[in-house]
Structure 1
Amino acid sequence: MAMEHHDPEMIFDNMDAIPRELAILPLKGTVIYPGLAVPLIIGRERSIRLIDDALGGDKVIGVVTQKDPKVQDPTPEEMYEIGTAVSILKMVKVSERDIRVVVQGVARIKIDGYLTNDPYYIARVTHIEEDYVEGMTIDALVANIKDVFRKVVELSPQVPSEIMTMIVNLKNPGMLGDFVVSSLNIQVEEKQEILQIIEIPLRLNRVLEILNRELEVLELGQKIQSQVKEGIDKNQREYYLREQLKAIQQELGEEDELNESDELKERLDKAKLPEEPEKAARKELERLKRMHPSSAEYTVSRTYFDWLLDLPWNEATEDNLKIVEAQRILNEDHYNLEKIKKRILEYLAVRQLKNDMKGPILCFVGPPGVGKTSLGRSIARALGRKFVRISLGGVHDEAEIRGHRRTYIGALPGRIIQGIKKAGSNNPLFMLDEVDKLGSDFRGDPSSALLEVLDPEQNFSFSDHYLEVAFDLSKVMFIATANVLQTIPPALQDRMEILELPGYTEEEKLLIARDFLIPKQLDEHGLKAEQLQFTEGALKLIIGSYTREAGVRHLERQIASVCRGVAKEIVEGSQQTVEFTDELAHKYLGPVKFFPEVAERTVEPGVATGLAWTPTGGDIIFVEATIMPGKKTLTLTGQLGDVMKESAQAALSYVRAKYKELGVEQDFYENGDIHIHIPAGAIPKDGPSAGVTMFTALTSLLTHRPIRNDIAMTGEITLRGAVLPVGGIKEKVLAARRAGIHTVILPKKNEKDLEEVPENAKKDLNFLFVQRMDEIIPLALADPISKNTQH
């Protein structure tokens, strides 16, 4: 409140001159005390008329404060009974409607009753006398009031410091209390309360209470301000300002669009997370409330909060446990693969008996193109589960599996948690493709990180570095795929149930092409079944002469090539329907790519046909041996590994040791060099299973007896002449059948492995089992060729 500079002790000279009847001016939000000069802005018409009339008279009026400042024309009941008689010192017109008057309080008055309210209030009043009181109590109160008020002036920027000078010079105790209260920014009700207290000691006591309270508030505010100032940084300052802005907007009735905390809290309440993630989410929400949305830290924290809420902690799909329906879906999508289908149906049967069974962890191992990945999709469809696939080929960072710590810029959870979120359920079918092609370097070993994921005893509390909250993976059905087992670490193999998918026979490929591949390719190329038909002979030609693979991927490409060629002719109008026969193969597919070459390659002695296992299925290999004049050396070519070279050394040593029994000249190695070559030299070859083939090739060369052209062999050898078992029998047998071989020589201990070979493949082949290397000679070698006929 602004105050004019008049002496506060210049009381109206003649108190007795205050009339008994006074015009009453209602005041809004203002209390005037005796002795104080106060400026007033008058805007009400009745009040302006009152001032005009008073200026024409003795310039004395009564002022009374309204109880409710919002009331425009208050009634007597809406005004206080105690007011102040004032003298009008001056008047200035500030606008057409408003005037400014300066009044000085003269004395307290009591309204005895209102006489009229037209044109303004006139009331009968009683002048309240105030005695000047002295004594030690008064002196102590005055001293305390001055001391406390001085502290308030020092702390409060709203109280001018020059007021303190005026306070010091005041001698009237009652007027001191009035003046101090008028200087404070307190409620009007409290100011009116002081006006109504007539007894000086009581008034001063109440003033001192109010002063002490204001001082305490100011000191607390200064303490808070000091603490904030000490530790404030940029983000805290922004937060402080935002909170102030928020309070201002609430006062104005505006909503803060930037504040998302209520929305996030509502999301968290609806999510109904388990105890541990909910605790982490609520902690993160508290952090978010203290941050400004435009700060970088807010984005990191918000992303983490969203991940916690978006993960399917409790959402799960219901398994389709109807075995008959699941079997129908599996058969509809894939031909054969009975071992895999049997395993899935067994899982469903156990799930019917035990509800809380942990998800199986399977590993499909087989050559490319046999349907490992598509089988995973089919199993998910049969079970009614969500399907998630991640490719691990070339992954060499452990963080790809476990995620990055949130301290890193751009940190995210690992692929496992990302896949779970993408699936939207905590029990999807999770396919880990190409698990055998994981790498490792200075960033860690991802295959080791998979150990926890694929261990049923650990994965119920899988810990991702980003989440830092355990996630239960025990309900997830994991299926890994691999081409070879050798590159998968033993610890990881141990955690998975290995299911091998061998290559297909020619008959199986024929059925797959007819029932699956051709309808699919016709649909993808916009052709109808009647526009392109394949004869059985043409399909056999494609399988035998245009593809050589364990799977059917290349076969599907050849069928697609035919479909494209026919589609072009139909669009051009040269053809409407095509029946693809043997004669049309060259037209659409070009020249034949693979020929049966066993008969031609094994005409001369020293060339043996072996069976090899490759990542793409089984294959046949030729071992060629020749001898030339030299100085007792053995040369091995064909990009052979150490194990295969050692097999060649062992074969040569056995031939030299058993030269009599084998019918070989004793000095064959004294003046000769032997060269063993395995063609297709650009392809690395290794393993012990070519030992039998090398021994047979050497014996054939040195005895001048060619090897039968319809026979192939496999087996590991020892220096003592034993034939040891080898792996990959099914793939090797199927490769022999594809190459037109009729007889296969196998180690005796591999006889049990023929159970895995399809019956229709076994019936076309003759199997000979050997335990010793000597037994091979009469089985594999034909009659000798005379030296004169050799080239």
Structure 2
Amino acid sequence: MTEKFPSVVPVIVEEEAFMYPFMIAPLFINSEANIKAANKATQDKNDLIFVGCAKSNPSDKALEEKFYDVGVIGSIVRKVILPDNRMKILFQGICKGRILSLQSHDPLEAMVDVITYKDYDHDKTNAILEILKEKVGSLANVSQFFPPDLLRAIEDNSDPNRIVDLVASALRLKKDQSYKLFANDNTEERLLDLIDLVMEEIKTQKLQKEIKSKVHSKMEQVNKEYFLKEQLKQIQKELGVDKQRDEEIQEYTQKLSAIEPFITKEIHKEIKKQIERLSRIHQDSSDVGILQNYIEWVLDIPFGQYSQKKLSIRDVEKQLDADHYSLEKPKERIVEYFATMELLRLRQTESKETKGTILCFYGPPGVGKTSLANSIAKAIKRPLIRIALGGLEDVNELRGHRRTYLGSMPGRIVQGLIEAKKMDCVMVLDEIDKVDKSMRGDPASALLEILDPEQNTNFRDYYTNFNIDLSQVIFIATANDTTTIPPPLRDRMEFIAVSSYTPQEKEQIARNYLIPQELKKHALKPTEALFTPEAIKLIIEKYTREAGVRGLRRALASIMRKCAKKILHSSEEKALKEEGKTKIRRQRKIHITADNVPEFLDKIIFEIDPIDQEDAIGIVNGLAWTSVGGDVLKIEAMKLKGKGNLKLTGSLGEVMKESAYIAHSVVKSRIDEEVLIPKKKKPKEGKIYQLYDIHLHVPEGATPKDGPSAGITMATSIASILCERKVRCDVAMTGELTLSGRVLPIGGLKEKLIASYKAGIRTALIPEKNYQRDLKDIPTEVQENMEIKPVRHIEDVLEVALVP
């Protein structure tokens, strides 16, 4: 190609920097002269163009002096017309060139010749080249001018002039410096000049790095001084900054110092760390509110705060008797519990047994489980905190939320301590049998640590992030059904049964407790609402359906409201206002008797149906336990012509169905052994149980029923049907039956016998084991008015229940 030169080619003047022969680069052209030159180049046959570089501040110079006379000769690979009269070309450099003379101004063309380099001493040049490569490596370590690919290209190339162009293109040189290197045709001089430029750039880069380091250190020092100044009260005053932050931090520090003797080093370290962090953080930071909330929560925990009242079992006994009628066994166990605690205190023992036991009152709703806990707290003069666990399924509700979560707060246990303001409060865990489990954890597992005397000395709340001693808290749990409590949690507690009340006990509770309390709540005087014993008995028998007295209290409250309304609406009474108070001139007495109870209570509810007055075939009184007390279920049987099958209805569970099949088999075996003899024997037709299907039904079919305790009741009903012998209507029974005919013990005996007493049952058949071990728990009133008979085998049951 050099044979074509000198030659006339179009000229493009680039504003930014020099182009080099090895470059393929896009050029954006917006001047009219450059666009004309590009168009001219694409029209020529040789398709060559010269790209030069404009000089700095060329406006007041002649055209020849506005750009340098050296540049790159190359070709236009691609040309694209852009909007706004602009053009984009892809330029490929071929060789260096020099302008000899301008030939045309429109378009700009010049006579151009190729630049060639003079001969040079290869040994000397190579030595200088090694020095250049060494300096370029040093510059690459302190700057980002040379990417790895460029360094590799410099290292692998052997042409000194090409290396000079590569290094020069990477350096950010001024136009005059670039021109000097570009235009010089002496290879040694070019190398030496470039080495000087590289060494100068090395010094510049090192100096910039040192300056940046000093600036960074200075900024850190300035920030440190700023925070120190922020903590100085005098500077805050001069700058007009609010002093509230310092006062709050000082208050937090004083509170921490006050509780320091009562907390562990771990707790002190954690709280102090957060206070110091709050003092350093900028007041506009988003973490300020989170830190303040945390510090205020943990400093509100009543470390070292205990009740001054000493334990006294006499006070406990007195308070329990004043608040509760009957419940002798639960009250006795509570007094024993506090007697142990008082004895340990008097003898100043430090045994681990001082941690005590967790009591759990269980029984039907409304029998006074939570009220017992209230009486305990009142007797020992400690605050009472109630934590409702019913339906709880998030373990963080008990353990607290970690501070990384938005809106986090301590768990209910720590919040309870803060609310009580004492570390030895009485904490009632209500409905512990209704704790649920979900994807958010198992709260029952957290309760293991809370209720275990060996572990709750170091209970860890996720929010506080330190251990808290709960050993002085008196935990009392309540439950309706202990079978739903997980076994590991059951193992931590001692259960005290609070069972159903007899009608006589309910009468005493209503007269001595409920009526006086409701009179006071409704602002009535004892002389204004008078209940007759018959009225109280009628309300209990006909208007309540429960094992406890909660429904009875609601019924009495309803009567009180109507009494208050009658007193205020009476035409004989006029209100007088004296000194801002309203007084009644003449009081009216309202008598509540058995005759006028329907005027106050409009709906009669029978808890247990009275027994039938006549003996019947196939109908047997069975005794059942429910969550609201005992009940009497009339189990019915019917025989239909068939093949000896047994059909069961009444929403029975699997265990109860198995009991029915066992009862059917036992009765058939007794017929085979002729212990039971049907009245109408038909030996030619086979056994009677082969001729009939038995349909066994347990009424209230919508109510699910399960359990083995109806075994002897079902057997008696089947035996009555097959033998056509009537069952005594005044007999009720309960007991599990085995295939061999033995009667096994059952649970809930007290509730079942109270229910049979309420229904008017005269004779109750119970397993012999229950008779021996549980009869002492049955109320005296029930034992005196009923005949309770122990049975060991099914023959004993049939002998009493079936009419000869």
TM-score tier by shorter-chain length is: 0.5 to 0.7
Shift, 1:617, TM fit? 1.1
Residue number in structure 2 paired with 1:584: 596
Residue identity opposite 1:338 in structure 2: E
1:283 to 264, 269, 273: 273
What TM-score results when the alignment is normalised by the length of structure 2? Answer: 0.67
Given the superposition, is the C-alpha separation of residues 220 and 506 from structure 1 closer, same or farther in structure 2, using an over 3 Å criterion? farther
SS at match of 1:579: strand
Q: How many Å separate the matches in 1 of 2:211 and 2:569?
A: 90
Residue number in structure 1 paired with 2:675: 661
Contact 2:281 2:288 in 1 (8 A): yes
Shift, 1:535, TM fit? 0.8
Whether 2:713 is the aligned partner of 1:701: answer no
Residue number in structure 2 paired with 1:523: 520
Unmatched segments (≥5 aa) in structure 1: 1-218, 784-791
Q: How many Å separate the matches in 1 of 2:314 and 2:464?
A: 40
Q: Deviations over 1:476-495 (max 9, x none)?
A: 11100001111011111110
Q: Deviations over 1:346-368 (max 9, x none)?
A: 23333332225224310000111
SS at match of 1:721: coil
Contact 2:363 2:498 in 1 (8 A): yes
| Structural mapping, 1:595-606, within 5 Å | 597-600=609-612, 603-606=615-618
Shift, 1:320, TM fit? 3.5
Contact 1:532 1:566 in 2 (8 A): yes
Whether 2:534 is the aligned partner of 1:537: answer yes
1:560 to 548, 551, 557: 557
Root-mean-square deviation (CA, aligned residues, Å) is: 2.6
Q: Deviations over 1:18-65 (max 9, x none)?
A: xxxxxxxxxxxxxxxxxxxxxxxxxxxxxxxxxxxxxxxxxxxxxxxx
Q: How many Å separate the matches in 2 of 1:239 and 1:768?
A: 91
Q: Deviations over 1:255-304 (max 9, x none)?
A: 63444433322332233251221111111112112212332212112222
Residue number in structure 2 paired with 1:110: none
Q: How many Å separate the matches in 2 of 1:417 and 1:692?
A: 52
Q: Deviations over 1:326-348 (max 9, x none)?
A: 32222111112222222232233
Residue number in structure 1 paired with 2:509: 512
Contact 1:596 1:740 in 2 (8 A): no
Contact 1:601 1:607 in 2 (8 A): no
SS at match of 1:636: strand
Shift, 1:466, TM fit? 1.3
Q: How many Å separate the matches in 1 of 2:382 and 2:226?
A: 46
1:730 to 743, 750, 756: 750
Shift, 1:469, TM fit? 0.8
Given the superposition, is the C-alpha separation of residues 221 and 709 from structure 1 closer, same or farther in structure 2, using an over 3 Å criterion? farther
SS at match of 2:268: helix
Residue identity opposite 2:675 in structure 1: E
Q: How many Å separate the matches in 2 of 1:220 and 1:270?
A: 51
Contact 1:610 1:622 in 2 (8 A): yes
Whether 2:340 is the aligned partner of 1:328: answer no
1:265 to 253, 269, 276: 253
Q: Deviations over 1:364-394 (max 9, x none)?
A: 0011111111111110010111111100000
Shift, 1:548, TM fit? 3.1
Residue identity opposite 1:607 in structure 2: I
The count of aligned residue pairs is: 562
Residue number in structure 2 paired with 1:441: 438
| Structural mapping, 1:426-465, within 5 Å | 426-465=423-462
Q: How many Å separate the matches in 1 of 2:721 and 2:648?
A: 15
Q: Deviations over 1:100-149 (max 9, x none)?
A: xxxxxxxxxxxxxxxxxxxxxxxxxxxxxxxxxxxxxxxxxxxxxxxxxx
2:705 to 685, 705, 708: 685
Shift, 1:543, TM fit? 1.1
Residue identity opposite 2:705 in structure 1: K
Q: Deviations over 1:759-789 (max 9, x none)?
A: 1221111011111011111101114xxxxxx
Residue number in structure 2 paired with 1:158: none
Contact 2:316 2:335 in 1 (8 A): yes
Structure 1 stretch displaced more, 426-435 or 541-550? 541-550
Contact 1:431 1:478 in 2 (8 A): yes
Whether 2:732 is the aligned partner of 1:712: answer yes
Contact 2:362 2:478 in 1 (8 A): yes
Residue number in structure 1 paired with 2:288: 298
Shift, 1:220, TM fit? 12
Shift, 1:667, TM fit? 3.1
| Structural mapping, 1:133-152, within 5 Å | none
Q: How many Å separate the matches in 2 of 1:654 and 1:638?
A: 21
Given the superposition, is the C-alpha separation of residues 555 and 250 from structure 1 closer, same or farther in structure 2, using an over 3 Å criterion? closer
Q: Percent identity?
A: 45
SS at match of 1:327: helix
Q: How many Å separate the matches in 2 of 1:277 and 1:750?
A: 54
Q: How many Å separate the matches in 1 of 2:218 and 2:426?
A: 54
Q: How many Å separate the matches in 1 of 2:522 and 2:631?
A: 33
2:412 to 405, 410, 415: 415
Given the superposition, is the C-alpha separation of residues 461 and 772 from structure 1 closer, same or farther in structure 2, using an over 3 Å criterion? same
Contact 1:366 1:482 in 2 (8 A): yes
Q: Deviations over 1:695-735 (max 9, x none)?
A: 11111111112211111000000111110000111111111
Shift, 1:241, TM fit? 10
Residue identity opposite 2:278 in structure 1: L
Residue identity opposite 1:663 in structure 2: I
Residue number in structure 1 paired with 2:626: 614
Residue number in structure 2 paired with 1:142: none
What TM-score results when the alignment is normalised by the length of structure 1? Answer: 0.68
SS at match of 1:354: helix
Residue number in structure 2 paired with 1:161: none
1:354 to 332, 344, 351: 344
Contact 2:230 2:236 in 1 (8 A): no
Residue number in structure 1 paired with 2:798: 777
Q: How many Å separate the matches in 1 of 2:610 and 2:512?
A: 32
